[in-house]
Structure 1
Amino acid sequence: MASLLTGNWNYPTAIRFGAGRIRELPDACKAAGLRRPLLVTDPGLAKLSMISDAMLGLRKAGLEVALFSDVKPNPVAGNVESGVKVLRAGKHDGVIAWGGGSGIDTAKAIAFMAGQARPMWDFEDIGDWWTRANPVGIYPSVAVPTTAGTGSETGRASVITDEATHTKKVIFHPRMMPSVVIADPELTVGLPPTLTAGTGMDAFIHCLEAYCAPGYHPYAEGIAVEGMRLVKDNLVRAVDNGRDVEARSHMLAASQMGSTAFQKGLGAIHSLSHPVGAVLDTHHGLTNAVAMPYVLQFNRPAIDDKIQRLSRWLGLHNPTFDGFMEWTLDFRRRVGIPHSLAELGVKESHLDKFAEMAAVDPTAGGNPVKAGVPEMRRMYEAALAGRL
Structure 2
Amino acid sequence: MSCCAHHDEFDSAFTVDASRVTFGRGCVREVGDRARALGMTRVALFSDATVSALALFDTARQSLRDAGIDVVAYTDTRVEPTDESFRAAAAFATDVAPDGYVSVGGGSVIDTAKAANLYASHPADFLTYVNAPVGAGAAVPGPLAPHIACPTTSGTGSEVTGIAIFDLLSLHAKTGIASPALRPTEALVDPDGTDTLPANVVACSGLDVLSHALESYTARPFLRRAAPPSPSRRPMSQGANPWSDLGSREALRLLGRYLERAVTDASDREAREQTMWAATLAGIAFGNAGVHVPHAMAYAVAGQVRRFHPDDYPGDEPLVPHGMSVILNAPAVFRVTAETDPARHLDAAGHLGADVRDAVAETDAGTVLADHLIAMMRAVGMPNGLGAVGYTGADAAALADGAWPQQRLLGNAPLDVDRAMLADTFARALRYW
TM-score under structure 2 normalisation?
Answer: 0.82
In structure 2, the partner of 1:4 is: none
Q: 1:205 to 1:77 in 2, by over 3 A?
A: same
Residue pair 2:128, 2:138 contacting (<8 A) in 1 also = no
Percent identity reads 26
Residue 290 of structure 1: which of 325, 328, 344 is its match? 328
Are 2:381 and 1:336 equivalent residues in the alignment? Answer: yes
Structure 1 residues without counterparts, runs of 5 or longer: 1-9
- Offset of 1:115 from its aligned partner? 1.7
- Offset of 1:131 from its aligned partner? 5.7
Are 2:142 and 1:135 equivalent residues in the alignment? Answer: yes
Letter of the 1:23 counterpart: R
Secondary structure of 1:95's partner? strand
- Offset of 1:384 from its aligned partner? 1.8
The aligned runs of 1:80-99 (5 Å cut-off) are 80-99=86-105
Residue pair 2:42, 2:69 contacting (<8 A) in 1 also = yes
Are 2:356 and 1:318 equivalent residues in the alignment? Answer: yes
The aligned runs of 1:1-388 (5 Å cut-off) are 12-126=18-132, 132-136=139-143, 138-216=144-222, 217-262=241-286, 263-280=288-305, 281-314=319-352, 316-319=354-357, 320=359, 321=365, 322-361=367-406, 362-386=408-432
Secondary structure of 1:384's partner? coil
**2: CA distance, partners of 1:284 / 1:96:** 23
Q: 1:323 to 1:366 in 2, by over 3 A?
A: same
**1: CA distance, partners of 2:272 / 2:161:** 20
**2: CA distance, partners of 1:72 / 1:80:** 9
Deviates more, 1:188-197 or 1:113-122: 113-122
- Offset of 1:308 from its aligned partner? 2.1
Secondary structure of 2:70's partner? coil
Deviates more, 1:344-353 or 1:175-184: 344-353
After superposition, what is the alpha-carbon deviation per residue over 1:225-275, rounded to whole angstroms, capped at 9, x for unaligned? Answer: 111111111111211222322222221121122222122231111111111
After superposition, what is the alpha-carbon deviation per residue over 1:135-167, rounded to whole angstroms, capped at 9, x for unaligned? Answer: 14x222100000011100000110122112122
Residue pair 1:130, 1:173 contacting (<8 A) in 2 also = no
**2: CA distance, partners of 1:296 / 1:100:** 27
After superposition, what is the alpha-carbon deviation per residue over 1:59-91, rounded to whole angstroms, capped at 9, x for unaligned? Answer: 232111111122222101121221122222223
After superposition, what is the alpha-carbon deviation per residue over 1:289-346, rounded to whole angstroms, capped at 9, x for unaligned? Answer: 1111111112232132212233445553234323333322211111111221111122
**Alignment length, in residue pairs?**
377
CA RMSD, 1 decimal: 2.1
Residue pair 1:154, 1:259 contacting (<8 A) in 2 also = yes
- Offset of 1:201 from its aligned partner? 0.6
Deviates more, 1:354-363 or 1:98-107: 354-363
Structure 2 residues without counterparts, runs of 5 or longer: 1-15, 223-240, 306-318, 360-364
Residue pair 1:42, 1:99 contacting (<8 A) in 2 also = yes
- Offset of 1:174 from its aligned partner? 0.9
**1: CA distance, partners of 2:21 / 2:80:** 26
Letter of the 1:302 counterpart: T
Higher helix share: 1
**2: CA distance, partners of 1:135 / 1:145:** 25
- Offset of 1:134 from its aligned partner? 2.4
Secondary structure of 1:256's partner? helix
Letter of the 1:103 counterpart: V
**2: CA distance, partners of 1:312 / 1:340:** 23
Letter of the 2:182 counterpart: M
**1: CA distance, partners of 2:82 / 2:39:** 28
Letter of the 1:334 counterpart: A
Residue pair 1:74, 1:277 contacting (<8 A) in 2 also = no
**2: CA distance, partners of 1:380 / 1:124:** 26
**1: CA distance, partners of 2:202 / 2:218:** 24
Letter of the 1:333 counterpart: R
Letter of the 2:259 counterpart: L
Q: 1:312 to 1:86 in 2, by over 3 A?
A: closer
Letter of the 2:411 counterpart: G
**1: CA distance, partners of 2:57 / 2:38:** 20
Residue pair 1:114, 1:139 contacting (<8 A) in 2 also = no
